[in-house]
Amino acid sequence: MCTFDFSPLYRSTVGFDRMFSLLDQVGGVEGPVPGYPPYNIERTNENSYRISVAVAGFGLADLSIEIKENRLSIRGEKQPKDKTGQVLYLGIAARTFERNFQLADHVAVEGASLDNGLLNVELVREIPEAMKSRVIPIASPSKLLEVQPTQVAA
pLDDT, tens digit, for every residue of 91-119? 776 789 999 999 988 899 999 999 999 99
pLDDT-based confidence at residue 30 (cuts at 50, 70, 90): very low
- Is there a domain that residue 19 lies in? yes
In a domain, 2, yes or no: no
Per the domain annotation, does 1 fall within a domain?
no
71 occurs within a structural domain: yes
Instruction: Tell me, yes or no, whether 98 lies in a domain.
Output: yes
Confidence category of residue 4, pLDDT binned at 50, 70, 90: low
Query: What range does the domain containing 61 cover?
Result: 7-127
For the chain, the domain total comes to 1
Task: Say whether pLDDT at 65 is over 90.
Answer: yes
Q: Is residue 102 part of a domain?
A: yes
User: Does residue 146 lie in a domain region?
Assistant: no
Confidence bin at 72 (pLDDT 50/70/90):
very high
Burial of 52 (0-12, 13-18, 19+ CB in 10 A): middle
CATH code at position 11: 2.60.40.790
The verdict on residue 64 lying in a domain is: yes
